[in-house]
């Protein structure tokens, strides 16, 4: 998960995912029904880029957007709440192979 705090960071995310998928700016523009100029501006962090089109670009690149309200209390698991990996593997082995031993 990546923390995004500015239009520039959204643009960088769009650019990196587009490049990772081997898409040109023109390819992405065509998928969005936008111009290549719009893609260039969005990737550059243009602050007035239309939010609906930004959301379509994220969707076209299979990027999910989550909003975290910093004023809402967040639940964080403590180390005691996380099961030990060996216990999980042992339980899986018992479930798959039946009980071990006599």
CATH code, 41: 1.10.260.40
Reading the chain (102 residues) residue by residue, the pLDDT tens digits are 788 889 999 999 999 999 999 999 999 999 999 999 999 999 999 999 889 999 999 999 999 888 877 787 766 666 667 777 777 777 777 766 665 555
Is residue 92 domain-resident?
no
Is residue 91 domain-resident?
no
Is residue 13 domain-resident?
yes
Is residue 2 domain-resident?
no
Burial class (CB in 10 A: 0-12, 13-18, 19+), 32: middle
Is residue 86 domain-resident?
no
Q: What is the pLDDT of residue 91?
A: 77
What is the rounded CA–CA span in Å between residue 9 and residue 17? Answer: 12
Angle at the Cα of 34 (from 32 to 38), degrees rounded to 5? 120
Q: What is the pLDDT of residue 66?
A: 83
Give pTM, 2 decimals.
0.66
């Amino acid at each position: 998960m990546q923390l995004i705090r500015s239009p520039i960071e959204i643009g960088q995310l769009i650019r990196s995912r587009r490049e990772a998928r081997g898409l040109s700016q023109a390819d992405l523009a065509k998928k969005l029904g936008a111009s290549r100029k719009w893609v260039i501006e969005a990737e550059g962090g243009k602050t007035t880029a239309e939010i609906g089109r930004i959301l379509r670009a994220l969707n076209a690149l299979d990027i999910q957007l989550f909003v975290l309200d910093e004023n809402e209390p967040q639940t964080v698991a403590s180390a005691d709440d996380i099961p030990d990996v060996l216990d999980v593997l042992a339980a899986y082995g018992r479930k798959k192979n039946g009980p071990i031993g006599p």
